[in-house]
C-alpha cells in the first residue's frame, strides 16, 4: 500500500478515536451492526419498489411465506411464516399455505393499542396491492396473469378508477384465518419462488389506510426488525422488533467449511441477536473502504479499486488478517447488462437495420477491458442472462466472439450508418444524427464505465451523449420508458433462470422489462418453460431463449460479478446469501472481541 493510503487510513482512525468513546460507552451493552449501501434507497412500500437496497430493508421488516436456508448451497427454500412447505397439487396449479398461528405485527398506532395477528387475508390484501393500477407497481410481473380471477378485478379497477380490495378472488381462497389456497391459471412450478420474495411480504390493511401515500415511510411487518429512523439517502436505522416470535438459529451448512464455521458461531441462538442496525449510504468507493478500515463499518463489499491491496493473489492481505478481519469470495447470482429501449426511435425496433445497429454497438464494447481494468478482475463474462448458481445456467453455452470492432464497423457500413459530413461520427441511414444517449450516474465508478463506453464507441464512429443523473432519478425515467439505454445489474430474486429471462418477457414491459422487448417467439418459450419442472428440458428452452436474445440484441450482455465481503473480527454469522439480501436477522456481534479491539 502507498504511504498516502496509510495516511488516509490514519486520519480516519484518529477522527474516529476522538469521537467514538462517549458514543460507544453509552451503547456498549447493545449489539449494533453498522452496514453500508452503495446507492440510496427509494422507499419501503413493497408495491412501489424494485431496487436492491429498498428490498434489503423491507426483507428485514416484512415477511413472505417462505424464505431460504441461510447457509445451504445451492439455495434451498424453507418455511418462514408457514408451518411447513406449501402443498402443491393438480400438477403445479394449486398451492395450499398454512400459516403459523400467533405471529404478531410490530406495534403501531394503526392498531389502536391492540396486538395484531398475521392472517391469511393479510397476504391476499398485500398481493392485490401489487396489481392496483393506481400504485403503478414495478412488481406486477409477479402475479399478472397467474392467479385465477385476479386479472378481472384489475381490469374492473382500470375501468372504474377504484380497486375493490374486498372483492372475492377465486384463486385466493381464505379457508380459515391461517389457511390460504392459491389456484393458478395454469401450472407454474416456479410460483413457489414468488412466495419467498421480499415484495410478497405481508402488510396490514390498517397500516396502509392510516398512512396512505406515506406508507412507504412507515413499513410495519412481522419481521425481526422495525424501522426506527430514516433520513432519506443518508441513514437508515432498524431496531429489534420486541413482538418477534421465539425463533432460533437453524441452518444447514452442508460440507462447506465457511458455512460450517458460521453455523458453529450461531448454533442455538435466539433470533435476532442484534439490537440495532445502522445503515449508511456511501456512494464513492474510497470513503466507503476507509470507513471500514477505521472501524466505522462492520462489513463492506471490497471496492474493485482496492482489490490488489486487500486480497493480493486472492488471499487477504497479512496486515488485514493480523487485525482479525475476514473475507469471503463469492460469485454473485447477478447479471450486468446494458438494455436498449426497443421503443426508442434510434436504437429500438425489430427491422434488420435496427438489429444491426444494436449488434454493432454490442460488438464495439470491450467487456474484457471492463472486467480487467474497471472491475480489477472481479467478474466473468456473461454468455447468457442466467448466472452461475441459478437453475438453467450452462457453463458450456457460449456466444462466441463478443468484442469485434471490425465486424461492428462492417455491420454499420452495410446498413447505411455512415459518416456523411466528415466529422468522424456516423449518421442514421436517412441522414439524421445518430446519437447514442448513455445514462449514467455521477459517482466515480460509473464515470469509469462511461469513459470506456465513449472510447469504444468513438472507435467505431458512434457519438455518445451522456445523460448524467442520480440513480433514483434514472430509475424513475427507466420505468417510464424515457431512457434510450442504461447499464443495470439484476440479482436473483429466486434461483431459477426464469427470474432473469422475465426481464425480457413482453407482458412485463412497464414493470420489470425496462427495455420493452417484445418478441412472440421468446414469450412463447418463456411460458412453456414455466409449466415444466426444473431439469434438462427447461434448461434447453432457456438456451433457445438466450439465442434469440443474441439474435435480436435487446441487451448487451456484460458480466456476472464476483466480490469479496470483508467483516470486522467481532462480526459473527455473516455471509452474503445468493438470494437473500443483507440477512441481519442471522448476524451477531461479539462485544468482548470488539472491546478488546478498542471499539
Is the confidence at residue 6, as pLDDT, over 90?
A: no
pLDDT band at 299 (very low <50, low <70, confident <90, very high): very high
Kindly report which listed range (271-275, 325-329, 441-445, 533-537) carries the lowest average pLDDT score.
Answer: 533-537
- Report the first-to-last Cα separation within the chain, whole angstroms: 24
Rounded Cα distance, 352 and 551, in Å: 10
Cell of 1: 500500500
pLDDT at res. 400: 83
Asked if pLDDT for residue 261 goes beyond 50, the answer is yes
- What are residue 540's phi and psi, to 5 degrees? -60, -40
Torsion of CA 239, 216, 245, 26, to 10 degrees: 10
| Mean of the per-residue pLDDT values of the chain | 92
pLDDT at 104: 98
Nearest Cα neighbor of 236 from 214, 219, 213, 212 is 219
Q: Is the pLDDT assigned to residue 117 strictly greater than 50?
A: yes
DSSP symbols for 336-378: EEEEE-TTSTTT--SSHHHHHHHHHHHHHS-HHHIIIIISTT-
pLDDT at 28: 52
pLDDT at residue 13 is higher than 50: no
Higher pLDDT, 7 or 372: 372
Report pLDDT for 24.
42
Task: Please say whether the beta carbons of 36 and 300 come within 8 A.
Answer: yes
Question: Which are the contacts of 213, defined by CB distance < 8 A and separation ≥ 6?
Answer: none
Supply the angle between the helices 405-414 and 444-460 in degrees, to the nearest 10: 60
**Quick check: 316 pLDDT over 60?**
yes
| Alpha carbons 554 and 564: distance in angstroms, whole number | 31
Q: What distance in Å separates the CA atoms of residue 43 and residue 437, rounded to the nearest whole number?
A: 28
- Please answer whether residues 119 and 178 qualify as being in contact, where contact means their C-beta atoms are separated by less than 8 angstroms: yes
Is the pLDDT at 133 greater than 90? The verdict is: yes
Reported as a single tens digit per residue, the pLDDT across 494-525 is 899 999 999 999 999 988 899 999 999 999 99
pTM here? 0.80
Residue 383: closest CA among 578, 555, 577, 579: 555
pLDDT at position 9: 44
Where do runs of H (alpha helix) occur along 383-489? Answer: 405-414, 444-460, 471-479
DSSP string, 518-584: --HHHHHHHHHHHTS-SSHHHHHHHHHHHHHHHHH-SEEEEEEEEEEEEE-TTEES----SSS---G
Q: Give yes or no for a contact between 551 and 571, defined as CB atoms under 8 angstroms apart.
A: no
Q: Quick count: other Cβ atoms within 10 Å of Cβ 332? A: 22
Compute how many other C-beta atoms are within 10 angstroms of the C-beta atom of residue 15. Answer: 12
Give tens-digit pLDDT for 378-399.
Answer: 899 999 999 998 888 888 888 7
Query: What average pLDDT does the segment 132-158 reach?
Result: 95
Q: Please state, in angstroms and rounded to a whole number, the distance separating the CA atoms of residues 251 and 63.
A: 18
Above 80 in pLDDT, residue 570? yes
Say whether pLDDT at 1 is over 70.
no
Q: Give the separation between CA 317 and CA 327, rounded to whole angstroms.
A: 10
Q: Which three cell numbers stand for residue 412?
A: 454499420
What is the per-residue pLDDT for 5?
36
User: Is the model more confident about 104 or about 17?
Assistant: 104
* The residue to which cell 420489470 is assigned: 512
Helix, strand, coil share (%) of the chain residues, nearest 5: 35, 20, 45
Q: How many CB atoms lie within 10 A of CB 510?
A: 15
Q: Quick one: pLDDT band at residue 409, thresholds 50, 70, 90?
A: very high
**C-alpha span between 486 and 556 (Å, rounded):** 10
- When pLDDT is averaged across residues 279-288 and rounded to a whole number, the result is 95
pLDDT digits (tens, 9 = 90+) for 39-59: 899 999 999 998 889 999 999
Amino acid at each position: 500500500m502507498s504511504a498516502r493510503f496509510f495516511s488516509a487510513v490514519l486520519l480516519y482512525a484518529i477522527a474516529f478515536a476522538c469521537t467514538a468513546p462517549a458514543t460507544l460507552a453509552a451503547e456498549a451493552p447493545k449489539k449494533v451492526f453498522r452496514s453500508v449501501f452503495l446507492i440510496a434507497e427509494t422507499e419501503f412500500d413493497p408495491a412501489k419498489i424494485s431496487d436492491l437496497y429498498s428490498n434489503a430493508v423491507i426483507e428485514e421488516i416484512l415477511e413472505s411465506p417462505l424464505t431460504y436456508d441461510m447457509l445451504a448451497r445451492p439455495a434451498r427454500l424453507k418455511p418462514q411464516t408457514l408451518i411447513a412447505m406449501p402443498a402443491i397439487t393438480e400438477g403445479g396449479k394449486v398451492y395450499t399455505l398454512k400459516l403459523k398461528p400467533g405471529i404478531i405485527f410490530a406495534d403501531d398506532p394503526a392498531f389502536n393499542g391492540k396486538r395484531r395477528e398475521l392472517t391469511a387475508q393479510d397476504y391476499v390484501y398485500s398481493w392485490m396491492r401489487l396489481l392496483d393500477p393506481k400504485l403503478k407497481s414495478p412488481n406486477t410481473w409477479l402475479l399478472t396473469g397467474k392467479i385465477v380471477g385476479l386479472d378481472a378485478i384489475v381490469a374492473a379497477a382500470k375501468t372504474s378508477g377504484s380497486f375493490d380490495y374486498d372483492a372475492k378472488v377465486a384463486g385466493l381462497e381464505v379457508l380459515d384465518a391461517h389457511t390460504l389456497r392459491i389456484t393458478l391459471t395454469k401450472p407454474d412450478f416456479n410460483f413457489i419462488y414468488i412466495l419467498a420474495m421480499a415484495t410478497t411480504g405481508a402488510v396490514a390493511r390498517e397500516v396502509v389506510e392510516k398512512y396512505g401515500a406515506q406508507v412507504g415511510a412507515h413499513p410495519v411487518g412481522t419481521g425481526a426488525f422495525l424501522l426506527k429512523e430514516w433520513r432519506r439517502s443518508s441513514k437508515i436505522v432498524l431496531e429489534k422488533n420486541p413482538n418477534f416470535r421465539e425463533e432460533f438459529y437453524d441452518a444447514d451448512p452442508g460440507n462447506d467449511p465457511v458455512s460450517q464455521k458460521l453455523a458453529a458461531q450461531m448454533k442455538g441462538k435466539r433470533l435476532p441477536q442484534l439490537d440495532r442496525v445502522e445503515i449508511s449510504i456511501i456512494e464513492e468507493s474510497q470513503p466507503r473502504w476507509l470507513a471500514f478500515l477505521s472501524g466505522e463499518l462492520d462489513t463492506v463489499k471490497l471496492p474493485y479499486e482496492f482489490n490488489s491491496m486487500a486480497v493480493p493473489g486472492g488471499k487477504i492481505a497479512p496486515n488485514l488478517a493480523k487485525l482479525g478481519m475476514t473475507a469471503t469470495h463469492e460469485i454473485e447470482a447477478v447479471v450486468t447488462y446494458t438494455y436498449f429501449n426497443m421503443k426508442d426511435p434510434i436504437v429500438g425496433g425489430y427491422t434488420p437495420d435496427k438489429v444491426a445497429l444494436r449488434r454493432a454497438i454490442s460488438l464495439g464494447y470491450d467487456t474484457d477491458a471492463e472486467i480487467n481494468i474497471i472491475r480489477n478482475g472481479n467478474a466473468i463474462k456473461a454468455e447468457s442472462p442466467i448466472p452461475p448458481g441459478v437453475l438453467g445456467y450452462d457453463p458450456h453455452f457460449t456466444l462466441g466472439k463478443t468484442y469485434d470492432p471490425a465486424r461492428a464497423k462492417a455491420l454499420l457500413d452495410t446498413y447505411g450508418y455512415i459518416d456523411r459530413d466528415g466529422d468522424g461520427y456516423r449518421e442514421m441511414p436517412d441522414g439524421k444524427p445518430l446519437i447514442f444517449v448513455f445514462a449514467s450516474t455521477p459517482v466515480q465508478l460509473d464515470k469509469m464505465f462511461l469513459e470506456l463506453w465513449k472510447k469504444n464507441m468513438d472507435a467505431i464512429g458512434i457519438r455518445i451523449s451522456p445523460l448524467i443523473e442520480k440513480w433514483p432519478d434514472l430509475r424513475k425515467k427507466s420505468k417510464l420508458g424515457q431512457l434510450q439505454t442504461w447499464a443495470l445489474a439484476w440479482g436473483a430474486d429466486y434461483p431459477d433462470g426464469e427470474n432473469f429471462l422475465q426481464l425480457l418477457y413482453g407482458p412485463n414491459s412497464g414493470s420489470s422489462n425496462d427495455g420493452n422487448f417484445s418478441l412472440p417467439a421468446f414469450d412463447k418459450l418463456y411460458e412453456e418453460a414455466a409449466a415444466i419442472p426444473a431439469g434438462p428440458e427447461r434448461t434447453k428452452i432457456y438456451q433457445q431463449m438466450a439465442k434469440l436474445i443474441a439474435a435480436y440484441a435487446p441487451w448487451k450482455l456484460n458480466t456476472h460479478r464476483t466480490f469479496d465481503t470483508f467483516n470486522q473480527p467481532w462480526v459473527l454469522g455473516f455471509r452474503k446469501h445468493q438470494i437473500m439480501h443483507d440477512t441481519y436477522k442471522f448476524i451477531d456481534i461479539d462485544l468482548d472481541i470488539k472491546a478488546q479491539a478498542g471499539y
